[in-house]
Amino acid sequence: MQDLKLWYQSKTIWGALVAVASSLLGLAGVHLGLDEQGDLADLLVGLGGSLGGLLALYGRISAKTGIVQRSRSE
C-alpha cells in the first residue's frame, strides 16, 4: 500500500462507521438496506473531504504568521 490519504477520505473507514451506525439503528427499529448504506458511505466520504478542505482554508486564514516563498537562488 503506497498511496496515503487522511482517515476521513477512506471509504473503508466510513463504511465501517455506517455499518456500526446501521446496526445501532437496527436495534432502535430503523433498518437501512445495503444500497442505502453504500450511498451513505459515499456521501460521508465526500463530506469528509469537503470539511477537511474547509478546515485547511480556515487554518490558513486564521493563522497568525504568513507563508514565505523563498526564491531558488537562496
Mean pLDDT by 10-residue block, N- to C-terminus, for the chain (74 residues)?
Answer: 77 84 84 85 83 83 80 64
**Who's near 60: CB < 8 A, 6+ residues apart?**
67
Give the three cell numbers for residue 28: 432502535
Q: What's the confidence (pLDDT) of residue 3? A: 79
Q: What's the confidence (pLDDT) of residue 73? A: 63
**Has this prediction a pTM greater than 0.75?**
no
What number of other Cβ atoms are within 10 A of residue 19's Cβ?
Answer: 13
Q: Is 13 exposed, middle or buried (0-12, 13-18, 19+ CB in 10 A)?
A: middle
